[in-house]
Every structure is written in structure tokens, then in C-alpha cells.
Amino acid sequence: SATQQTFLWQHTSAVVPGFTGDTVAELPLECTYDFEVKAAKYLLALDGGTVPLRFLFSGTVFGRGNQSFSVRQVPWDREQPFDMPVSVWRDLIRLHYPGTGWVRLTREAIDALAAYRSARGLLGFDEAITELLAAAPELR
């Protein structure tokens, strides 16, 4: 039976200073808590284990030539798999968003919530949402 694979693409870039032999370089990767983004929904749904990542490399390598410098393209087949523990993402989210979540709202919804909050003298959006939820008949 065929297995279905889901691919989530993310692009990033880095410039690595010159070196001889092997080197280690940091590669910045964005990590989001926006549940409108498929990767965040996927990671939140996992209880544990690892997430299979595949890093695909491309770019240009500049080096010293015999009389000047050389230029080579990184071959398109250069890749590196990595199994990232789900706990890494969860720890990162706890570090940057301690005790909170993230919800994207339309501008109209934010304005309406701000007006509700202001009309009732509430200090924050959390209080406004909590009050609105407490008033919902289906939640009582």
C-alpha cells in the first residue's frame, strides 16, 4: 500500500564564511505558533516522537583557484534528513510564548473585541473573550 506524505516547505538562507575541511554553520529556521499555518497545526497535533525533516541545499561555493578564484554550484541532489524531536518545538514555543496561545483574527474582529472590552471597562482581550465565552448559552 502506498503511504501518503505531506510536505511543508520553508525557505531560508545563510552565508557561510570561508573554511578549509569541514565546518558547522547555523541555519535559521522560522518557528511559528500560528495555527493557521499547517506546520504549527501538525506539530501541535503530535503527542511526541519525532518529525522527519529533509534539508535540501543549493547555492554557490566560491573558492581559491590556481590564479584567481573558482565558482561552483552546489549540486541539486544535496540533502540531509533529520528527525527533530517534537519536544524541541514544544520547548521552543514554551520559551517564547509562556502560558499563552496565538489566534489570528480579522481586523474587524479585533476592532469589535476592542470596542466590547472598552465598553465594559475590561483591561485586556483575555478578559473580554472570557466574559463572552461565559455568556455563551451552549457552554453553560
Q: In this predicted model, what pLDDT tens digit does every residue of 87-105 receive, in sequence order?
A: 998 998 889 888 887 788 8
Binned at pLDDT 50, 70 and 90, residue 52 comes out as: confident
121, part of any domain: yes
21, part of any domain: no
Binned at pLDDT 50, 70 and 90, residue 1 comes out as: very low
94, part of any domain: no
Domain that holds residue 121: 105-140
4, part of any domain: no
115, part of any domain: yes
Q: Domain count of the chain?
A: 1
In SS3 terms, the chain reads as CCCCCCCCCCCCCCCCCCCCCCCCCCCCCCCCCCCCCHHHHHHHHCCCCEEEEEEECCCEEEEECCCCEEEEECCCCCEEEEEEEHHHHHHHHHHHCCCCCCCCCCHHHHHHHHHHHHHCCCCCHHHHHHHHHHCCHHHC
